[in-house]
Structure 1
Amino acid sequence: MEDDPTIRGPRSALSDYLASQNISISRIRAENRARLEATSTTTDVPVTSNDSTTPNAQNVEGEESEQEEATAGPSNTDAAPQTRQCRERKRKQAEAIEAIKKSKAFKRRKQNPSKGCNMDFPEDDVVETAVERGEVVPGQMENCAQCKKRFTVTPYTRADPNGGLLCSKCGSKQAAEEKASKKKGKQKASAGRAGQGRRKLQSAILDGQIGVKSLVTLCVETLAQNIDLADDLGDSPPAIIDRIARHLAKRRLMNSTTLQLFIQPRADEVTVYDAARLDSDDFIRIFQTCSQLKKLKLRNAIQFKDQVMEFLMSRNYNLESFYIHGANLLSETIWQKYLEMKGQGLRSLCVAFTDRHFSNNTVKCLRDNCSSLSRLKICHNGQVSDEGIEYIANLGNLRQLSLHLIKQTSTTPYIHVIENIGIKLWTFSIRHVKDVDDRLLDALHKHCTSLQKLRITHSEVMTDAGFVRLFEHWKNRQLTFIDLQLCRQVDAKVPWENPRNVGLCSRGFQALMAHSGTKLKSLNVHGCRHISKDAFEEVFSSDKLYPELSDLEISFCEQVTDFIVGSIFRSCPNLKQLNVFGCMKVKSVRVPKGKILVGVPNAMGMVIEGTDD
């Protein structure tokens, strides 16, 4: 509110009220003048603002006369204090006006006429406009928007979110609530980042990375993240190129552009771990560029069709190693044609997830045309049956055999394979053979003397006595890899009762470790739930040592306890990873430094990296 410099003396209650409500006499006068001008324009009757008949003018004049009457009159003993209060109020108002003039909002409004400021107006009008817009003016009196308490506005007065101003008490409460809300938001954000970091750490641990990443690992990851900027891999070692290919497959970054980095004219080996984004022309480009190609490995090769195989047959070189995964569009006719034309030089053939067109007739072509074949892997195949296994028995140079067939097979064909080529086998792996019985174990014991890797999984009829006969007094050298997971009793009314000792049980496990324990590197007895607590404690007792064992899987062996896990870490000094999923008696184990325990649920995840010295 503007004060008349000619007015002296105390102010009336009305003046104080008008000042507290930011009501200005000049504003009322301006609005009245505008209404009068609008009325005169409409009625064409000249009207002046000094017309005493105008109600607003009368009100204004009455207000002024009331102020004059309030300020006029004889002086009394309270005149001096009231004069000082008036000067103090004017001083505070002047400071508030100066504060408004120095504010950035005032300067912007003064410089920009489009925001309601006319450059022809004096600064006092701009200040008045700022006050009318509701800007905080220190020194004015306001009612708190929450508690309705009357208070004096300061430069630190806070605004209520719903409009109005807050007193110091309510403002402090509002600030505390905002601070708590921000802190809670930061905690949630940090928790989310911590969760991502923990998952990333768990993934790195499962990938075999413990501790700080090596410089080579950092370089490979950086290259994989910026693979679009790479022009050539140069003369990088094959191991580094393979790691780069794995990183690209993990990130699903292998495409027609990045493929060019791996196909060089002098390359004799090409490995693509994820070819899902490649088309037939990309595969043909591999054979066009790599004129010295000897080894080819393709996973998820969905678009590897007959036309690609025909182009491969037209080249003047023969593949020695051919690994194809997911090529369901290759017909049986093209497979037989390729084996007849290029099968003589083929030494390793791995065919995975070709459910329809790789059949018994194709295996027969292997027998007739691939006399040099030393490694054969048929995985997740839905066409090969007992007849095809009989053909495999005639591959005289076979050293490594891995079969995972969808059709149920019997014991006799496997026995024929072992009787014919078992003495030369290094690897014998069969999966999901629930109907194969102890006769195969007896054939392995009798004919195999060079095995290094043995895998028999999901057997439901083999017995513990058969495994004892296999490992006791076996002339075969010590195995380095054994996988007997889920060789157990299935159709039992009471799962823990096993009167016939079906599957790998205590005596078979003890015989296994007695035969191959000192050279064994990887052991999987997942789901062999009838191995007793005493058998585990005897095998991993304090006087037993297994220096080569680095990977052990004993998940869902219900008798495993904290003591047994501790004994395993003591007996296996080079153990890197131990899996104990489903071992409910394992609760709190001290994991040695550098070891990994997987499968114990806790607040940090399912993977525990040891830190105890």
Structure 2
Amino acid sequence: MWCNLLVHRQPRGAPLGKMSRRRSNGNAIRGPQSALTDFLASHNISAQQINLDYQARVQDAQRQAEAAAAETAAEAHEEVSDQEEDAAERKKRKRKEEKAIAKIKASKEFKKRKFEHQQDDPDADSDSDALARDMLKKPKAPPKPGQFANCEVCEKRFTVTPYTLSGQDGGLLCTKCGKEIKDEKKKSDNAAKKKKQAPRVRKRQQESDRMMGDVRPGAKSLVEVCVKKVADVVNDIEEFGDIPQNLLDRLSQILSKKRVLNPRTLQLFLQPGIDRIAVYDCAKLETEDFEKIFAFMPDVERINLRFAGQLKDEALRYMIEKNPKITHLQLGATNLVSDEVWTELFLTRGSQLESLKLSELNDSMKDSTVQVLAESCTNLKRLKLRSCPHMTEASINSISTLTTLEHLTLAVAQDSPPDILVNLITNLGPKLKTLCLEDYYYADDAVLEAIKNTCTHLKKLRLTGSSSFTDLTLSSLFDSNSGNPPIPFIDLSSNRDVEYQNPVADDNDTEEDPIGFGSTAMKALMSHSGSKMTRLDLHSNRHISHDALTTVFDGKIQYPELRDIDLSFVSHVDDVVMTGIFRSCPKLEKLTVFACFSAKEVVIPQGIAVIGLPNAQSAVEIMGDA
């Protein structure tokens, strides 16, 4: 049975949007056009907005075309008007143009472009007028944000934004090229910044060298450069080889200053054929490292170990047993060594010791131990004892029996009365070449008289920290009629009574016999020892007047050997005094003037290290200046 069915077929080629179907329930199925509209609406895309943007672009293109046509018409009109203008107007316009061209030719930009043009094509004839006319033309306005432009570097077409960068030739850069150039500029700026900071590092090193007195102009010696280079790469070195002893000492100083002297680097200094060892910073060494020193160097004669906090009894006993040739011993901060072992050292090796220097012994070196030292070290020529708080007046009396001493430095039992020091100086003075009594507060004029009468062969004198010396007695110590020879090394610093107030005698700031080193002693000292003096330390001596300083340093009196002067905290030092010092001391290398605030604008000769004066390096006169 045939059923009458009506079948609707979609013609071939007909658009899909016109297709329609019926669901079984009678509802219509939505077509693709309606689905597309919903998709655009969900993504905030409006067909009307798309149409408006398209119309705007079309209108913008039309405006640009009309502007170009108008510009072409204007140029054509100008050409016609130029032909029609009369001779007077043409002459006036030409005169203005020539004036503008002449102004352009006189500018730096024109000279720069002309030079670049000649560099690019040396054989081509440079037409100055043509180049000036090109510069006279108004530059074309760059594209605005939203418009298209070609990248100056890669010539890629891109959309201009407010963040688009400009190129070196005036064009614009795309995002990729702009980022690359920005990164390159950042790297170059960082490199320039580091290069700019380099002189600051060199200045710091220069100031460090000046503090050490190294002021030699020009390049450093090849030996010094090599030694510092070795110190920089010391962790990569397996052995030093046959290096002279003086260079080993210099390497030890540099490594100690850098705090890199450890058990590994110590091994480089342990050479059996060397008779001396100097380690200026033993803070990173252990007890086993000290025993290794004494085991690897059985023939060592000179030992210098500073800050040896881990040197204990067993290590010192090992040294006594394994090193029979020791003649010079210097130990610092060996607080873990007991008096029993010190006594054993003096009884066993004391008779062969010629030099003994001990310092910072907070838990040992009592009076009984010092008595054993004095009885056993019968050939001792040099003794230095500092910061040994257990020593008292009895220790100084024991030291007074060491009549073989030629060099004595004491900074122990500093509250001893003057008669103890007088007895010490009277017994040892005739043979002494070095006498250093540091910070003996109660030392008075009787001590000075003992020094004057008995110490007739001194090459070095250090008397510091006294509040009892008087200016008149100090001046008599340097009496030219006494027959005592000049003393090359003088340190009379901090000799003043802080609470003493003496009225000024006259208008020249001269005080009447003050307590401490004053003007009278200053004149007597320079008159007596100035001809042979090499070092002078008078810091913190407040009673030296300006008149005394200008008298002894007047620029006419010469001190030919004086190389190092310390006048810190001497308030009367000013530009006049410093200028006189420079003229009176032709071999001066180092001048220390901390807290000398009156010295401000002095010109410093080359080759002199001035320490303590702000911006002293900028005041150094140029080579060749008078």
Query: TM-score per shorter chain, which class?
Result: 0.7 to 0.9
- For 1:299, the aligned partner's letter is R
Residue 192 and residue 370 in structure 1: after superposition, are their counterparts in 2 closer, same or farther (change >3 A)? same
Is this contact kept in 2: 1:597–1:608, CA < 8 A? no
Is the partner of 2:598 in helix, strand or coil?
coil
Count of matched residue pairs: 495
Match of 1:476 in 2: 484
Supply the AA of the counterpart residue of 2:519: S
Give the corresponding residue for 2:297.
290
1:432 matched residue in structure 2: 439
1:271–1:496 distance in 2 versus 1, CA, 3 Å: farther
Spell out, residue by residue over 1:110-142, the C-alpha distance to the aligned partner (whole angstroms, 9 max, x if none): xxxxxxxxxxxxxxxxxxxxxxxxxxxxx9985
| Counterparts of 1:550 and 1:262, CA distance in 2 | 33
For the pair 1:205 / 2:188, whether they are aligned, the reply is: no
Tell whether 2:161 aligns with 1:165.
Answer: yes
Shift of 1:334: 1.1
Deviation of residue 343 (structure 1)?
0.8
Partner of 2:601: 588
Rounded to whole Å, the distance in 1 between the matches of 2:452 and 2:45 is 119
After superposition, the C-alpha distances for 1:581-609 in whole angstroms (9 at most, x for unaligned) are: 2222211111122122222213858x968
**Secondary structure at the counterpart of residue 269 of structure 2:** coil
Q: Could you tell me whether the CA contact under 8 Å between 2:354 and 2:379 is conserved in 1?
A: yes
Structure 1 residue 393 and structure 2 residue 400: aligned?
yes
Q: Does 1:339 align with 2:335?
A: no
1:524 alignment partner in structure 2: 537
Q: Once the 2 structures are TM-superposed, how far is the Cα of residue 154 of structure 1 from its aligned partner?
A: 3.0
Give the deviation of 1:387 after TM superposition.
1.3
Quick one: distance in 2 between partners of 1:283 and 1:267? 16
Written as runs of structure 1 = structure 2, the 5 A alignment for 1:267-278 is: 267-278=274-285
Find out whether 1:487 has 2:495 as its counterpart: yes
- Residues 405 and 85 of structure 1: CA distance in aligned 2, closer, same or farther (over 3 Å): same
Structure 1 residue 49 corresponds to structure 2 residue 32: yes
Q: Give the partner amino acid of 1:195.
A: R
Deviation at 1:543, TM superposition (A): 3.4
How far apart are 1:229 and its partner, in Å?
2.1
Deviations 1:541-583 (A, max 9, x none): 3431111100011112122221221111111100111112222
Structure 1 position 63, deviation (Å):
6.0
Say whether 1:382 aligns with 2:389: yes
Please give the alpha-carbon distance, in whole angstroms, between the structure 2 residues aligned to 1:306 and 1:53.
Answer: 97
User: Structure 2: which amino acid aligns with 1:203?
Assistant: S
Given candidates 243, 256, 277, the residue that maps to 2:250 is 243
1:299-318 equivalences under 5 Å are: 299-315=306-322, 317-318=324-325
Q: Which runs of 5+ in 2 are unaligned?
A: 1-16, 18-26, 69-141, 153-159, 171-177, 506-510
TM-aligned CA distance change 1:152 to 1:383, over 3 Å = same
Q: Is the 8 A contact 1:284 1:308 kept in 2?
A: yes
Q: Is the 8 A contact 1:322 1:348 kept in 2?
A: yes
- 3-state SS of 1:378 partner: strand
Give the 3-state SS of the residue equivalent to 2:614 in structure 1. Answer: strand
Following TM superposition, by how much is the alpha carbon of 1:384 offset from its aligned partner in structure 2, in angstroms? 1.4
Q: Deviation string for 1:215-254 (max 9, x for gaps)?
A: 1111001000011222222222211111111111111111
User: What letter matches 1:321 in structure 2?
Assistant: H
Tell me the equivalent position of 1:130.
none
Cα distance between partner residues in 1 of 2:50 and 2:391: 114
Q: CA deviation at 1:391?
A: 0.6
Q: Determine the C-alpha separation between the residues in 2 that align with 1:557 and 1:426.
A: 29
CA distance in structure 1 between the aligned counterparts of 2:45 and 2:189, rounded to whole angstroms? 55
Quick one: which amino acid aligns to residue 162 of structure 2? L
Cα deviation for residue 183 of structure 1 reads 10
How far 1:156 sits from its partner (Å)?
A: 5.6
Do 2:466 and 2:494's aligned partners in 1 also have CA atoms closer than 8 Å?
A: yes
Taking structure 1 as the reference length, the TM-score comes to 0.73
CA separation of 1:219 and 1:495: change in aligned 2, threshold 3 A: farther
Match of 2:563 among 547, 550, 555: 550
Q: Conserved in 2, the CA contact under 8 Å of 1:591 and 1:610?
A: no
Deviation track 1:185-236 (CA, whole Å, cap 9, x = no partner) reads 7886566443322211111222214222111111001000011222222222
Amino acid at match of 2:484: N
Question: Which amino acid counterpart does residue 509 of structure 1 have in structure 2?
Answer: M
Quick one: distance in 2 between partners of 1:402 and 1:511?
25
Cα distance in 1 for residues equivalent to 2:229 and 2:402: 46
Aligned with 1:194 (options 179, 196, 199) = 199
Is the 1:198–1:604 Cα contact (8 Å) retained in structure 2?
Answer: no
Q: Does the Cα contact within 8 Å between 1:393 and 1:420 map onto a contact in 2? A: yes
Return closer, same or farther for 1:610/1:352 CA change in 2, 3 Å cut-off: farther
Are the structure 2 counterparts of residues 55 and 224 from structure 1 closer, same or farther at C-alpha, using a change threshold of 3 Å?
Answer: closer
| Distance change (3 Å), C-alpha of 1:306 and 1:508 | same
Question: Structure 1 residues 366 and 153 mapped into 2: Cα distance closer, same or farther (>3 Å)?
Answer: same
Contact 1:590 1:610 in 2 (8 A): no
Equivalent position of 1:263 in the other structure: 270
> What do residues 355-392 of structure 1 show as CA deviations (whole Å, max 9, x unaligned)?
22122222111111100111110112212121111111
- Give the Cα–Cα distance (whole angstroms) in 1 for the partners of residues 257 and 45 of structure 2: 82
Match of residue 9 from structure 1: none
In 1, Cα distance between the equivalents of 2:349 and 2:423?
Answer: 28
1:483-531 CA-to-partner distances (Å, cap 9, x unmatched) read 0001113113579795551101111111111111100000001111211
> Which of 303, 327, 341 is 2:334 aligned to?
327
Q: For 1:392-427, what per-residue CA distance to the aligned partner results, in whole angstroms no more than 9, with x for missing partners?
A: 100010111001126422211111111111000010
Partner Cα separation in structure 1 for residue 467 and residue 490 of structure 2:
18
Amino acid at match of 1:575: L
**SS of residue matched to 1:523:** strand
Give 1:453 deviation, angstroms.
0.3
2:228 counterpart residue number: 221
Q: Any residues of structure 2 matched to 1:431-470 within 5 Å, and which?
A: 431-470=438-477
- From 421, 425, 430, the counterpart of 2:428: 421
Partner Cα distance (1:66, 1:290) in 2: 98
Show CA shifts across 1:319-344 (max 9, x none): 10000011111111111111111111
Question: What are the superposed Cα offsets for residues 40-65 of structure 1, whole Å, 9 maximum, x if unpaired?
Answer: xxxx9976424589656899997699
Q: 1:536 aligned to 529, 544, 549, which one?
A: 549
Alignment identity in percent? 30
Equivalent position SS for 2:387: strand
Per-residue deviation at 1:474?
Answer: 2.9
Distance 1:610 1:459, change over 3 A: farther
**CA–CA separation in structure 2 for the residues paired with 1:219 and 1:247:** 12
What SS does structure 2 have at the residue aligned with 1:504?
A: coil
1:154 aligns with 2:149: yes
In structure 1, what is the Cα distance between the partners aligned to 2:498 and 2:534? Answer: 29
Report the counterpart of residue 515 of structure 1 in structure 2.
528
Local SS of the residue matching 2:256 = helix
Partner of 1:598: 611
Tell me the equivalent position of 1:411: 418
1:308, distance to aligned residue in structure 2 (A):
0.3
Question: Counterpart of 1:302 in 2: which secondary structure?
Answer: coil
* 8 Å contact kept, 1:526–1:556: yes
Q: Match for 1:166: what amino acid?
A: P
